[in-house]
Structure 1
């Protein structure tokens, strides 16, 4: 089943599962992995599993050849349940609980991210001799979800930290960065790789040659339009890597939403329609607290490709879409053009909903999150 077929209301209405549900085409996940690999040849892909840790997706990506990136010991346990070798896992989160470092190291994880002296101390104590990769703070202003100052360090401190890592008996292994989630500019990777190259060059004077360049995440999925393609990004990244002081032995990347977002569609029925002043409101079964959190997090709103169970070509009205809970902030879209005839019992389909939907979903206010449904692939 293609992406276009998955998003077709006529196909979606054949799914015999009560709403709300999130249907994921595993063939699309495998296709996105192959497309990413082709666009960045020689790059080892480590799926950022925080994006969607469904066992079916982990199994599909592992079968396709993917490695993984984790942020907790619980995520490592999920991977072990799928037979993934911890030695091929990146633990890139810059702040980790000491016990989680020790548990991951004991399980066989050997590569740990950091961005501060305090984190190095924890790694040195709980994972002696481990390989460490320092996270640079780079320009993430062109992303939908910037990380801001939450993680990363500047170039001068990164240099000092790698020397400190060596004194602590750790292996200065690599450099990483994150340009922000759903990055909209190829230039963000260009400037970040150049900064990484500066660090690599400076460390050579200290006899340190880094093994790994980790391109981080932020690779955008397609929602409506305007995002750079993975092929465009691949060309920019390749041209910048060619300018580094020396070729890294290992180049890795940590894509999340690019691999899974477009593979899924969320279906939810309309449970209420109201006219409040001049504003048309639709209330649906799934809201911000049941999986559609990203519209609340993005200042400019979020543009899911939308369709409905009504015939295509119907006259439209701009609707505000709200979730089912009693919380005042449970609004997931404004001025969304949808068929004017929508009524209670009709279904809305939110396309490109595979990223973070299940990860954020809860039973807030007693309303159930969407039921996961998988089609295609290996099941």
Structure 2
């Protein structure tokens, strides 16, 4: 790598993407993977996943356009955003998407109007268990309402196809899937009494990535908990998952340059050329609890603790507190944030005029350090 390539730069190791996808498919048998485009839709990432047989989930018609560019079949895409612009529904349906999520009657009216005969999955609210990146509460209904909505879909000429839910992002408790699956069973029982039988349960995402100091449960724990839940359903259905973070987070390393250091009130601060508003918004979303593994190019034996902050004038633009780095860290050194492949570039803005990270995909990359520069090979 050219040592003078600008930062911030997000390096994505496509081989790690492949290994993560293959781990999910092998250790969660019987579950079809639909990669969540919202997490990181970079063309080389989705191209690699498509070549491995992965399917996809979208939240907008623009994401479908990205998939069509790599040759993905729209008929295998799930449109899981429960509330969608009418124009997006119409465009997706015209392209061949036929399965849409919803959680209200007005959404059913929109789908029936521009995607007649489409199959629909009702979004069920998940039992609230705090995840590492809390993200639930905006969507979803209870089991009784879900059953009533699917009957309302039938009355509008739509196909009552399934139930979907999401337990929350970066879920470290494998049993989180069991309570929602019990609710799914209640929905299925209610519908069976009306001679309506579902074909799919969408278990959503939430499978975690290995951030700093996180001990992940093995995927076998998730497989066991999900298997118990599925065994309690009144009849077998197709089951799908929509992972994002678990596929791409660990593949990403964010290269940043120190633009300045300072001591304030006895604490050392390192200002980087990347921050919450141009790539690391999840730092704010989690109250700075999401901790990325961090190293630096100086590699001093002497260590000190720094507050890592971004380049903007906003005081909220701080990534992590009390990060151990080289004591001699100074302007011009590089800092490397691992596990940065998920939700970085997609959240990035140009707030204060600072650039979002450039993305460079590689295979089999190992970051090494020498003096004040880093390179890959």
Aligned partner of residue 270 in structure 2, secondary structure: strand
Alpha-carbon shift at residue 149 of structure 1 (Å)? 2.6
Alpha-carbon shift at residue 192 of structure 1 (Å)? 1.4
* Structure 2 residue ranges without an equivalent (≥5): 365-377
Q: Please, which moves more after superposition, 37-46 or 165-174?
A: 37-46
Within 5 Å, give how 1:121-160 maps onto structure 2: 121-160=109-148
* Structure 1 residue ranges without an equivalent (≥5): 1-12
Q: Please, which moves more after superposition, 257-266 or 331-340?
A: 331-340
- C-alpha distance in 1 between matches for 2:146 and 2:12: 40
- C-alpha distance in 1 between matches for 2:361 and 2:288: 31
- C-alpha distance in 1 between matches for 2:82 and 2:67: 20
Match for residue 195 of structure 2 among 179, 185, 207: 207
Alpha-carbon shift at residue 306 of structure 1 (Å)? 0.9
Indicate how the Cα distance of structure 1 residues 239 and 18 shifts in structure 2: closer, same or farther if over 3 A, else same. same
Aligned partner of residue 170 in structure 2, secondary structure: strand
Q: Does 1:376 align with 2:358?
A: no
Aligned partner of residue 183 in structure 1, secondary structure: coil
Deviations 1:107-138 (A, max 9, x none): 10000000111111111111111000001001
Aligned partner of residue 245 in structure 1, secondary structure: coil
* 2:210 alignment counterpart: 222
Q: Does 1:244 align with 2:224?
A: no
Alpha-carbon shift at residue 229 of structure 1 (Å)? 2.8
Give the conservation status (yes or no) of the 8 Å contact 1:142–1:188: no
Alpha-carbon shift at residue 298 of structure 1 (Å)? 0.4
Indicate how the Cα distance of structure 1 residues 309 and 286 shifts in structure 2: closer, same or farther if over 3 A, else same. same
Deviations 1:123-178 (A, max 9, x none): 11111110000010012432123334310111110011011111111100000100
Deviations 1:268-326 (A, max 9, x none): 011110000111100011011110111111035221011111226x2322211111111
TM norm structure 1: 0.93
Number of corresponding residues: 363
* 2:333 alignment counterpart: 346
* 1:316 alignment counterpart: 303
- C-alpha distance in 1 between matches for 2:223 and 2:293: 25
* 1:254 alignment counterpart: 242
* 2:354 alignment counterpart: 367
Give the conservation status (yes or no) of the 8 Å contact 1:146–1:179: no
- C-alpha distance in 1 between matches for 2:120 and 2:36: 18
* 2:34 alignment counterpart: 46
* 1:10 alignment counterpart: none
* 2:152 alignment counterpart: 164
Give the conservation status (yes or no) of the 8 Å contact 1:112–1:130: yes
Aligned partner of residue 184 in structure 1, secondary structure: coil
Aligned partner of residue 201 in structure 1, secondary structure: helix
Q: Please, which moves more after superposition, 171-180 or 39-48?
A: 39-48
Give the conservation status (yes or no) of the 8 Å contact 1:67–1:89: yes
Q: What root-mean-square deviation, in Å, do the aligned CA atoms of Structure 1 and Structure 2 show?
A: 1.4
- C-alpha distance in 2 between matches for 1:140 and 1:179: 7
Aligned partner of residue 361 in structure 1, secondary structure: coil
Give the conservation status (yes or no) of the 8 Å contact 2:288–2:321: no
- Any runs of at least 4 consecutive aligned residues in structure 1 with deviations exceeding 4 A, and if so which? 13-16
